[in-house]
Structure 1
């Protein structure tokens, strides 16, 4: 199982939000320095999110992202406000290993199909769930589509990887939604990356035991509750 340190970027800074709430923000300095720190501590891959992009639908932090990609020697997956094939192509050309679609994937199924046909396994989709339903627009809106149903739809069009986040767990340091992750992993054959609330060695162990492809760890690393090198070991 791959452990992905999370680097959420807002206004050019590395931040963490609580349950996706843009008014509850902790700042942790320079995203580029943080990327290098996690790389030096043994990360095998990085998870970047352009929070401004997720909220406004445009690549607000592209220069920071470009610098990270230029310096990184490990794979980097990136999401946040990616809503065109041109954006995907630009990020892949810059060296992104995997591009993560969010809101656009739910609102425009044809776009997902076209992206997968064009870029194959370089496309992942983030399923952000709130009480079982898919949330959109930087988690500020909730749809009427069940996360499980959406996962099946994505698999049908050829998506290879999904990131599943329970918003209620994100940034709360209270453990992931193991039941929700297990349900998703049982109904699809795609690679599932867990996100949201991963706080302890026990959490990481349980996710590995479930056979998940990856786990994204954010606030627990930034607050020191988990040490990346220890988790990887």
Structure 2
């Protein structure tokens, strides 16, 4: 019986919680609240065991001002908080971890500057560094999906595993925020090819999608990041955590 950890996502833009479609903050971005800290407290009250936070301003190189909200979220909840968005140097990773973040999710840096990424991975250990693989049409994309690398996701995953990565966050960008169902095969292939743990992200629209992911997961896909479906009450939050984490799907 496989358990899947449900991780609610808090996407921050201009200090507010937003819904981001296909990784593009400017595309049909909808605000879900003015206070990301309050949202973190809500998810904790709903029994979340971890929270995923994305800084879209930092991802777009607009501002690093949202770091103060990240730190306040860490202080407000007593569960692990993982963070992604715009981290491009060892020093930025250190500053973020020092702010109380449990682990960071790194994508573009691993592609742009593998030596710096390796330095961070070696120093902070793979427990603290998760590699993000964002994919469009079987091609890895970076910098907020603006740059197409020409690299196949499996090739990138193998390369990162050889560097020491032990966990990936895998996102089919075209399904992100669309409620069109998860690309289970993408996450499954990366998990099975590398033998690494995978956190799935993107496309979950409700109970049936979560069940299909669980059925295909094996033991390597052990968690899933969910945003829009939770904010729009696509399933009762307490029930979905209880069912997914116990593995008791019917």
- Shorter chain as normaliser: what TM range? over 0.9
Unaligned runs of 5+ in 1: none
TM-aligned CA deviation for residue 221 of structure 1:
0.6
Unaligned runs of 5+ in 2: 243-250
Where has structure 1 moved over 4 Å in runs of 4 or more? Answer: none
Conserved in 2, the CA contact under 8 Å of 1:99 and 1:124?
yes
TM-aligned CA deviation for residue 57 of structure 1:
7.2
TM-aligned CA deviation for residue 31 of structure 1:
0.9
Q: Does 1:75 align with 2:80?
A: yes
Q: CA offsets, 1:10-59, max 9 Å, x none?
A: 00000011112222201001211111000000000000000111111753
Aligned to 1:164: 170
Q: CA offsets, 1:187-230, max 9 Å, x none?
A: 01111000001112122122223131210000001111123211
Aligned to 1:176: 182
User: For 1:114, what is the secondary structure of its paired residue?
Assistant: helix
Aligned to 1:202: 208
Aligned pairs, number: 233
Conserved in 2, the CA contact under 8 Å of 1:59 and 1:82?
no
1:99 is matched with which residue: 104, 128, 133? 104
CA distance in 2, matches of 1:50, 1:86: 17
RMSD: 1.2
Aligned to 1:90: 95
CA distance in 1, matches of 2:103, 2:165: 12
User: For 2:87, what is the secondary structure of its paired residue?
Assistant: coil
TM-score by length of 1: 0.96
Moved more, 162-171 or 108-117: 108-117
CA distance in 1, matches of 2:161, 2:64: 27
2:31 is matched with which residue: 21, 27, 33? 27
1:155 is matched with which residue: 154, 161, 184? 161
Instruction: Summarize the Cα distance change of 1:58–1:213 in structure 2 as closer, same or farther, 3 Å threshold.
Output: farther
Moved more, 39-48 or 82-91: 82-91
Aligned to 1:15: 18
Q: CA offsets, 1:65-104, max 9 Å, x none?
A: 1110111100000000011111111121221111111211
2:131 is matched with which residue: 111, 120, 125? 125
TM-score by length of 2: 0.90
